[in-house]
Chains A and B, each alone.
Chain A
Amino acid sequence: MKYPIIICDDNKILSKELAQEVDVAIQNMTDENSNYANIDASVAYIANTFEQTVGYVVANDVKNGIYFLDIELSKEAEAKNGVDLAEFIKKQDPNGQIIFVTAYDKYAPLTYRRRIGAIDYINKSQVREEIISRLGETLRNAFDNISNSSKLGIKTLTYKIGRRIQKVNEADIYYIENSLTQHKVRMVTQNGDSEFKGNISQLDKENPFLIKVSQSYLVNPENIDEINPAERLIIFPNKDEIKYSRDKKKVINNILNKYQDISLN
């Protein structure tokens, strides 16, 4: 697979320097780790302005790119900056991986991580060796992300928090329950939990992989650890227990037949 790398920094010297460092980091990676030995990644383009980058990405229809963007592309506050550029790129190349490059005092990883899905944040005022080792980490991450998302079979469930769209892997979901607050549901996944607006029957309709086991619970049968028919409990790997309703016995039996590794208690 090909991974075009694009760099955009308004400072010509710094952008060339960064391109060199990226090359070194890739070299180091392919030397050290045989998994990455036949990766085809190289710096495809060095841009110095918003327009140059947009032009290149559109003209060449770049896909699966890795983008190193300086946040402040111009001294003028009104001008388009790296964040605008990232937003544009995300539309053009949804699988693209964005890494912000900046000086330390503008360090704001959290702000951009959720908003643009920027995967990393590199501080360019570090010592060269440090930058290269950080580049190595983040590139590895980027390669993995791209190859994962292009692999078939990884399905995601999308939901909205406020105006923002969030994605979660179906395989990570344990269950979804009605929240204490009306019109909200709480989703519990392998990594944690989050609340969002929605309702159980709608989600049930839209997501056939989830099974409704009571008025207020949808479960992902793939992630059930244990079922206790005496107490009518479904137990998940995080030890969360939920109760299924009496009239769903049949559904539960179907699950037990289909997923033999669920232990019965």
Chain B
Amino acid sequence: MILISVIPTFLSILADLWIFLKISKIKVKTSGMKILVCIVLILSFIISSQNIMLSNIFEILAYYVLFRNYSDKKLILGSILIFSTNDLLISIISSIFSSLLSEIKFDFEWILDCFLLFLALYLIEKYNKKIRSYLLDKNSIVFLRLLVYIYISVISIVAIYVYLRPKNVSFYSVFTLLIIIQSVFAISMYYEMIAVQRKIDKRNKQKLEIEKQKQLEEYAGYLEKSEDELRAFRHDYRNMLNSLKISAREGNTQEVIDLLDKYTQTNLDSKALLKYKDVNHIHIKSIKSIIISKLTEMYDLNIPYNLECRQVIKKIPDVNEIDLIRIIGITCDNAIEESQLMLEKGLKPEIQIMFYSNSKDEFEYEIRNKIHDKNISASQIQKKGFTTKKNHQGLGLTNIRNIESKYPNMTISHTVEDGWFDFYMMIDAEDDE
């Protein structure tokens, strides 16, 4: 009989480890670590035969100390809290049942324990991905606090029944009920918050979509306009050639040259005609729309610019598009800001942008702009944001560094040379090692 009563404890300690590893997705590899884990298992088994609360707390501390550097701290803590709450819940439920059915003279507590345990394992198996994502997304801290809250509620219920062994059951039942109601309230608050946030996210996404739509419309308008201009050009050039022919026949070379000069200056280099040159080669919609909006901005501010995208880009390496758009947006804004400053000072700004991709594993983006202070260094430009938070430029470059650290295949360089600031980003997904 003693052996049988030991089985659930033993199983639950093993289950704790399984739940923890399942949710945190940690793999114990080194043999030293394996030994440590075994020691923890044995110790918690010994302690739990004395006191279930103590062993619970011991497990929390031991797991945290062992695994704290293995993965995200919130993920570790969350996984620990889930299995320890689970332990306590199981012991509460089974003790309630056994006290309710104490008339029946059959010791079935261990069967119930095992049943609850397997139910918990089944739930974890089914929902471990979801739980992990809750522990890692932007609301992870709220979710973690919720877990802590539930854990404290549950452990206080256990504490009451284990230590106080209340005689006045009705009073404590009310107290317990209150704790349960509050926990339910906290959980529903959490879900409500998530739902509200999702709604906001959706609305923002729609806004972005509308913005994108607007940019593409602007681009379509430009294409139509240049179609018209091309038609006018075709018409003009017939007349022009005819008049040139006449001038040439009369031997009026100077007039011919003047006419030709005038012609190449006005028609072929027409700025409006080159407004979105090469944009048609970019087939990634999000990149296309950000670049259209930035080029429009440069055009409207009268900043000379040039976009190069010689290849048709249909696919990019496996990088979050939002991150790419942020990088492009920040660097374009910086270049525009500096160019505006130069315009105010009566200097000649210029911006050059390049996209390049030879295969779907490779993507390059470069932006250069002239700078007014030729003696400024690249690190000074980057440092700006650390000193004056208001400064858009430096702040942006810090953000870019954060993005870069997410991708091992992304390399970025900043250079200041010959009066140009140069930002260069390359993604090379093909591992060459």
Contact = CB atoms under 8 A, between A and B. Distances in A.
Given A194-B414, A196-B411, A105 B277 contact: yes
A197 B428 CA distance: 11
Contact of A192 (B269, B274, B416): B416
Nearest to B379: A238
B325 interface: no
B192 interface: no
Interface in B419-433: 422, 424, 426, 428, 432-433
A160 B379 CA distance: 22
A110 B308 contact: yes
B268 A110 contact: no
B74 interface: no
Nearest to A106: B310
B388 interface: no
A161 B411 contact: yes
A246 to B, nearest CB: 24
A111 B356 contact: yes
A114 B408 contact: no
A239 to B, nearest CB: 8
Nearest to A141: B418
Interface residues of B, number: 39
B99 interface: no
Contact of B426 (A104, A107, A108, A161): A161
B16 interface: no
A125 B368 contact: no
Contacts of A160: 432
A104 B269 contact: yes
Contact of B378 (A163, A179, A182, A192): A192
Contacts of B268: 104-105, 125
Interface string B322-363: 000000000000000000000000000000111010000010
A183 B408 contact: yes
Interface in B234-264: 261, 264
A195 interface: yes
B95 interface: no
A110 B307 CA distance: 9
Interface in A100-137: 104-105, 107-111, 114-115, 125, 127
6 contacts: A111-B356, A180-B401, A191-B416, A193-B413, A194-B413, A195-B412
Given A109-B352, A163-B432, A184-B408, 12 more contacts: A109-B308, A110-B353, A115-B356, A127-B261, A161-B411, A181-B407, A184-B411, A192-B377, A192-B414, A194-B413, A195-B404, A240-B379
